[in-house]
Chain A
Amino acid sequence: MNKIYHKLCLILLMLGAVSGCGSETSKPHSISRETTPAPTSQQNAAGFPVIVKDDRGVEVDIPQKPLRIISLLPSHTEILFAIGAGKQMVGCTNFCNYPAETEQLKKIALSNPGSVSLETLVEMKPDLIFLGGDYQRLLADQLSKLKVPVLSFESQSVADIAHSIRGISRATGHVEAGDELIHKLNQEIKALQARVKPYQKQGGPRVFYQVWDQPLMTAGPASFIGELIKLIGGENVFADVEIAYPQVSEETLILRNPDVILLPHLQDGPTDPAASISRLSERPGWKEMSAVKNKRIYIIEDDLISRPGPRVVQGLQKIAQALYPEAFPKQ
């Protein structure tokens, strides 16, 4: 009898807890969505308070300069440091490995976009969290419900870089630095394009970017890497695929016969192009490919070309060097 009573008590307690949680979370449902944009004349000298609208269409009111920022996207972390907001940060993800100062921040384990511990985040008392777009939509909404100020900016394409920089710099009080950075990046990209222009022939070199070997996967034109290849005048051999990272047919690859093969350099991966060439030529049918025959296989640091952040120019330069080695004579 006693046991049953205990169990009953427990169940009742649990029920109470659950319903309590339910009523709490349902109240602040759309706090920021209906707020009207504040006139900019209200802003004080430092530019705060400020209202920033993110890619979800949510307008977030930032009353003063945020000093406990968390970034949950490596490219946003790089932007924050590039515009000089690094000192205002308290945390970043365990994938954020650039710049070196990220080592001093609290690293938040993020094995999967949805698997971050909300408790850990809330416990760090952030006054602003930066997130990616659709990829982390669910997380952004969950945090919004917990009344944590969240700004989500899409980070998928070259255009997103400028857009993210603009949003992040306004939210952190580094408007000028942000605008300067955007200007600088645009200039550098244009300079690179101008540099390879004289060497560009009809169509440009045919490029195959191998994301993975088993199954054979590449980056389509819809991906960030595909966009970079196109931007610098390369012709993606799988430009007709709509999927961003498709599994592709080896037959088609051999028939389309790429001039250049790009491989991402992952952590602890091989860096020696000679070894890669010998491995690739071991695959049946690959020996006849122009890229393998002419030893035009290049390994590019993965982070530079997969993160739409301020280091995009470095990545773009690596691709340009691979595609147009004659435009970059060795000193």
Chain B
Amino acid sequence: MQPRQLFLVWRMIPLIGFLLVALLVGIHWGAVDLSFDQIRQGFWNPSETSHISTILWQIRLPRVILAACVGGGLAVAGAAFQGVFRNPLADPFVIGASSGAALGATLALLCIAGSITVITATWQIPWLILSAFAGAILVVGAVFVIAALSNVGRNAPLLTLILAGMALSSFTGALVSLIMFLNHEMLTTIFSWLLGSFSGRHWNEIIMAVPVIFFSGGLLWLMSRPLDLLSFGDETAMTLGLSIGKFRVMILVAATLCTAACVAVSGVIGFLGLMAPHMTRIMLGPRHGLMIPGSCLLGASLMVVADTLARTVIAPAEIPVGIVTAMMGCPFFLFLLISRGQQSK
């Protein structure tokens, strides 16, 4: 590693600090007030059956951790998609992962409502996660197949991917809307799922989703050199000796896997996967070796902050976290854009 890059690693420290602060705030703040003393006591006595330790260990801690992991995962996937497509507008949902997952989850919710209505059995959540995951993989797989079949001159596979993704996204989106419209007693459930929420998520979800997020995110980090090359354009990358097709497919598969795992446990949380990589790029520069872990840290911190707000703003009621990420993220993002524009003048 060159000395210059070593120097750049130092720039990660504020991000790590931000994440730690966000985690602390997320654990401290909630619908129920917990003082730091109570948190310390509850933290060291996880087996105790007091309300405090139940709330801390069973509800708040898993939720904060899951928010951090999903935020990090979405940000990394967003960074990878932006790199592969060389498109600043690309986000984790660009080739249909979100709409596929939404369709899968909607169908699962419908089936659950058909058989066992009111009460959650523990197996319902895994099933929801699995069908969301399957839906995402199916739709993205279909996008790849369509792109391969159309095979327009072999020069524009990226464009075909994006277009096929858009087309299939609107198709599955229409299916979800149709299901919502025909089952309007399910409207709130599906709608709140489409807006994204960490409400009622426990350790189960973490056990299921986090390994996938870590695995695919790590894979993407390992491929940061190829990503750097790919972002120069196909010709340059090929001249530099990269087998484009192989790496592109691997990156896309890993990023889709990561997105699907995130969406499956949290619903569709928009804007963060688009915003976090851009913000990190402004702070750390465009090299993926730094930008991917940076995006991960920033995305995790932002998601924890957003979820904390979602839990507390109108407590004891909650709002879907997707609303918060968009409302909170947009002004900050615009501010960064403007300030960067002024720097370069």
Enumerate chain A interface residues (CB-CB to B < 8 A): 111-112, 115, 210, 212-217, 238, 240-241, 243, 245-255, 257, 263-266, 268-270, 275-276, 279-280, 282-285, 288, 299
A-B contact pairs, 29 of them (CB 8 A): A111-B184, A112-B181, A115-B181, A212-B188, A212-B189, A213-B118, A213-B120, A214-B124, A215-B192, A215-B197, A238-B317, A243-B317, A247-B192, A247-B317, A247-B320, A249-B311, A250-B199, A251-B55, A252-B316, A254-B55, A254-B59, A257-B51, A263-B119, A264-B118, A266-B118, A270-B118, A280-B119, A285-B54, A288-B51
Say how far A176's CB is from chain B's closest CB, in angstroms. Answer: 37
- Chain A residues lying within 8 Å of B30, measured Cβ to Cβ, are 249, 251
- Chain B residues lying within 8 Å of A238, measured Cβ to Cβ, are 316-317
Cα-based distance from A275 to B122 in the complex (angstroms): 13
Contact B316 A210 (CB under 8 A): no
Contact B59 A250 (CB under 8 A): yes
Contact A251 B189 (CB under 8 A): no
Cα-based distance from A249 to B33 in the complex (angstroms): 12
Cα-based distance from A288 to B51 in the complex (angstroms): 8
B342 beta carbon closer than 8 Å to chain A: no
Indicate which residue in A212, A243, A257, A284 contacts B59 across the interface (CB closer than 8 Å). Answer: A284
Interface string of B159-191 (1 = CB under 8 A from A): 000000000000000000000011111001100
Chain A residue at minimum C-beta to C-beta distance from B112: A214
- Chain B residues lying within 8 Å of A249, measured Cβ to Cβ, are 30-32, 199, 311, 315-318
- Chain B residues lying within 8 Å of A299, measured Cβ to Cβ, are 118
Say how far A208's CB is from chain B's closest CB, in angstroms. Answer: 11
B319 beta carbon closer than 8 Å to chain A: yes
Say how far A237's CB is from chain B's closest CB, in angstroms. Answer: 9
Say how far A264's CB is from chain B's closest CB, in angstroms. Answer: 7
Contact B188 A285 (CB under 8 A): no
Contact A288 B315 (CB under 8 A): no
Cα-based distance from A254 to B319 in the complex (angstroms): 19
Say how far A2's CB is from chain B's closest CB, in angstroms. Answer: 35
Contact B117 A216 (CB under 8 A): no
Chain A residue at minimum C-beta to C-beta distance from B124: A214
B200 beta carbon closer than 8 Å to chain A: yes
Contact B119 A217 (CB under 8 A): no
Enumerate chain B interface residues (CB-CB to A < 8 A): 30-32, 49, 51, 54-55, 58-60, 114-122, 124-125, 128, 181-185, 188-189, 192, 197, 199-200, 202-203, 311, 315-320
Contact B51 A270 (CB under 8 A): no
- Chain A residues lying within 8 Å of B115, measured Cβ to Cβ, are 268
Cα-based distance from A268 to B200 in the complex (angstroms): 24
- Chain A residues lying within 8 Å of B51, measured Cβ to Cβ, are 254-255, 257, 288
Please judge, given known A-B contacts A247-B318, A283-B120, whether A214 and B181 are in contact too, CB under 8 Å.
no
Contact A252 B59 (CB under 8 A): no
Contact B200 A215 (CB under 8 A): yes
Cα-based distance from A285 to B61 in the complex (angstroms): 13
Say how far A276's CB is from chain B's closest CB, in angstroms. Answer: 5
Contact A251 B59 (CB under 8 A): yes
Contact B200 A213 (CB under 8 A): yes
Q: Which 3 A-B pairs have the closest CB atoms?
A: A249-B31, A284-B58, A269-B117
Say how far A194's CB is from chain B's closest CB, in angstroms. Answer: 32
Contact A279 B120 (CB under 8 A): yes
- Chain A residues lying within 8 Å of B192, measured Cβ to Cβ, are 215, 247
- Chain B residues lying within 8 Å of A245, measured Cβ to Cβ, are 188
- Chain A residues lying within 8 Å of B31, measured Cβ to Cβ, are 249, 251-252
- Chain A residues lying within 8 Å of B182, measured Cβ to Cβ, are 111
- Chain A residues lying within 8 Å of B49, measured Cβ to Cβ, are 288
Say how far A267's CB is from chain B's closest CB, in angstroms. Answer: 8
Q: Which residue of B122, B316, B320 has the most chain A CB atoms within 10 A of its CB atom? A: B316
Indicate which residue in A112, A216, A243 contacts B200 across the interface (CB closer than 8 Å). Answer: A216
Indicate which residue in A112, A214, A266, A269 contacts B184 across the interface (CB closer than 8 Å). Answer: A112
Say how far A37's CB is from chain B's closest CB, in angstroms. Answer: 37
Chain A residue at minimum C-beta to C-beta distance from B183: A111
